[in-house]
Amino acid sequence: MAIDTFWTTQNSGAYDPVLDETLGDTFDAPHTYLAGALSDDALGAQLASDAAELYPVYDGATHVMAGRPSDFDNPTAESFLKWHSAHQLAWLREYGTETTIDGQPVRMATFGTDANPLNNVTVLLSQDGQSVIVVNRLSVEQIATLPLVDQMVLAGLDAFRALIADLYNLSPATGEGTSDEVRMELQTVIQNAIDQIAAQDSYTDGARDRFLNDPSSRGELYHYLFTEQLEMLSLRLDRMAVFDIDTIEKSIADIVDRFTRLERYMTMTMTITEAGTGTLPTHSNGLDGGASVASAAEVFLTIETRIYDALTQSRDLSLSGNYNGRDTDAPGLIFLFQTFATYVSEAEAEGKTEEMDQNNRLLEDYAKLQELLNETLRAFSEPGASDKVGLCGVTTLAALKELAAGNALILAMFDTRLVDADNNTMHPLEAEKVLKRPTLDLVGTDGNSLTHYTKEEWNAFATNIGEMTTLIGQDTEIRMSELTQLGEIKNRHYELGSNVLNKMNSLIQSIINI
């Protein structure tokens, strides 16, 4: 067997290295490189050729495994599925039916003749001729890893609906159009999402090149963090022929939701202290004057930048096989993809944590008003109490400020005229859930006198505030559940990646120890 000098396998002396020093030694471990992953095409082809010579892959045609099963000429489905994949490949090449699906020549076989495809076993030869696809055993994750041409064949298979599409809600299934048609529909959804983001008043049109080439512009051009993610998703669709529409549409919705979240925090009208209504500010959404909302906006911007960077690196790695100027081997690819997925999950979890912090801050402000309302209701039980009283039982804003300096800011947050007549400038969390903040005319038009109400009127207002507090509190529970789910997804990604690396290591060790 003629082996190129890249792969010299016989040492000349007892202590000589097994592999002679060759051009391949310009890499740390040339034997670990995937075929086609090297930037030097000639070198990559040579390494692949030498590896194929040393470790031939059984393809059922050029390289056939010896020792065929005794029932090779007439196997049952149960027996076939237990065979070594090399025998399965050889059997399909010899006994499989040649047909055409979506313009592609396909060799396939069906074990069983039942009218219901679920009671049969369907197998295909992959388009590269290197593996057998057992259609009945495919999962959504496995389908996603299939090359585009194999996905196209799968989508055009008559049994696809019964065996896979209906089970996993995948498209296209029989009678639902072609893969190209489904892809175009999904890309229309993506484009609509991009248009929705670009329609915002805060969007800067025609600034994509500046965004891509100047990282310092991201704070100003934050919209492009999201439109670029949507473009990346569209690019992924170009390499797919079977679509999990629910999952894809959720991915689109998640990107739009995160944009809307950041947009609310970035564009919320901040507290205006030089207002013309007495000595109280307008557009107040918190006792800190909006400082926590501004801080959250920076957190969400940083988070989205991290998500965008991780997704961009993952995309570039998948297209080139190159990371930081170096070609990446199979274990490295798995580790890097796992790392990028972890970065995204951690960033999303940090966003949920910040949302919960904002939730708690808003609840604290509502709780402060509830304390004042409780004090107001107690004023009716005092000897000689009036039928109507102002907040905390006092008459003027000055008197209320003497009780506590923060009381005036609470008035600004819940007074109808000071907030907004239509509640159009609410806290981002209230806006997210379309919660209309309960307000009342608490301060007179002179800016100093407090409006007086009966006990029943104060009770009604307190009830509205309590109901709103409950709704905001429920949102905290929802976000906690979402945070737990993100943690589970991250752990699952880590387990999957680690299992693959462990199995790969076991295979390498078994080869070394032969």
- Of 90-94, 330-334, 491-495, where does mean pLDDT reach its minimum? 491-495
Q: Name the band, by pLDDT with cuts 50, 70 and 90, for residue 281.
A: confident
Q: Percentage of the chain with pLDDT > 70?
A: 80
Please name the amino acid found at residue 259.
F
Predicted local confidence at residue 141, as pLDDT: 85
Could you give the CA distance from residue 170 to residue 182 in angstroms, rounded to a whole number? Answer: 11
pLDDT of residue 457: 95
Residue length of the chain: 514
Instruction: Show contacts of 398-405: CB within 8 Å, 24+ apart.
Output: 398/448, 400/450
Mean of per-residue pLDDT scores for the chain: 83
Question: Which pLDDT does position 287 carry in this prediction?
Answer: 86
Place of tokens 């990446």: 328
Region of poorest pLDDT, from 127-136, 258-267, 286-295, 412-421: 412-421
Say whether pTM exceeds 0.75.
yes
Note the pLDDT tens digit of each residue in 384-406.
678 899 999 888 888 888 887 67
Residue 25 predicted with pLDDT over 50: no
Q: Percent of the chain having pLDDT more than 90?
A: 46
Q: Which of 50-59, 366-375, 483-492 has the lowest mean pLDDT?
A: 483-492
Higher pLDDT, 468 or 476: 468
**CA–CA dist 241, 325 (Å, integer):** 31
Residues 265-280 pLDDT 10s: 999 888 877 544 456 8
- Domain boundaries defined on the chain: 5-55, 77-168, 178-267, 271-289+314-514
> Whose CA is closest to 340, among 328, 352, 355?
328
* Per-residue pLDDT tens over the stretch 204-245: 999 999 999 999 999 999 999 999 999 999 999 999 999 999
Task: Considering only residues 507 and 50, tell me which one the structure prediction assigns the higher pLDDT.
Answer: 50
DSSP output for 302-352: HHHHHHHHHHHHHHHHHHHSEETTEE--HHHHHHHHHHHHHHHHHHHHHHH
Give the SS3 label for residue 132: strand
Contacts of 464 (CB under 8 A, 6+ apart): 438
In this prediction, residues 192-206 reach a mean pLDDT of 97
Q: For 297-348, what is each residue's pLDDT tens digit?
A: 999 999 999 999 999 999 999 888 888 888 887 778 888 888 898 899 889 9
CA dihedral 456, 457, 460, 461 (to 10 degrees): -140
Query: β-pairing, 326-327 with 453-454?
Result: unpaired
Task: Please determine, for residue 2, whether its predicted confidence score (pLDDT) is greater than 50.
Answer: no
The terminus-to-terminus CA distance of the chain in angstroms comes to 20
Supply the pLDDT for residue 19: 45
How many Cβ atoms from other residues are within 10 Å of residue 195's Cβ? Answer: 10
* Token representation of residue 486: 């993100």
